[in-house]
């Protein structure tokens, strides 16, 4: 689940040709997610993520969990919902 965007600011100092030191700032945009499998928070750089995936329409899995196993489990759940008989008592709202 996508939570928010964060900005990490790092300060550095570089020496010039004449021996002076110049401070400069670098900003890094980081996305904060909650794993849909284990509910732990994790971060990823915004540049490494497709902008369409920065929503809750997609599932997000942390690096410690197995994303392929998670996707396979979600596919099984979806198939079970789609294979229900017509005369079942489950309404469209609960699908």
* Domain edges within the chain: 2-94
Q: Is 39 left (phi over 0), alpha (psi -120 to 50) or beta?
A: left
> Which residues are CB-neighbours of 87 under 8 A, at least 6 positions away?
none
Residues 11, 18: contact at Cβ < 8 Å? no
Name the pTM for this structure. Answer: 0.68
- Alpha-carbon distances, residue 46 vs 6, 17, 29, 95 (angstroms): 9, 34, 6, 33
pLDDT digits (tens, 9 = 90+) for 26-84: 999 999 999 988 989 999 999 998 888 888 888 889 989 888 888 888 888 888 877 77
CB 77 within 8 A of CB 59: no
């Amino acid at each position: 689940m996508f939570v928010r965007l964060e900005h990490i600011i790092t300060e550095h100092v570089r020496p010039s040709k004449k021996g002076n030191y110049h401070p400069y700032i670098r900003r890094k945009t980081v996305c904060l997610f909650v794993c849909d499998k284990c509910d732990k928070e994790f971060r990823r750089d915004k540049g490494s993520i497709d902008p369409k995936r920065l929503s809750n329409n997609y599932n997000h899995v942390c690096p410690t969990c197995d994303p392929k196993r998670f996707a396979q489990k979600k596919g099984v759940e979806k198939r079970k919902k789609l294979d229900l008989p017509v005369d079942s008592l489950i309404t469209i709202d609960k699908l």
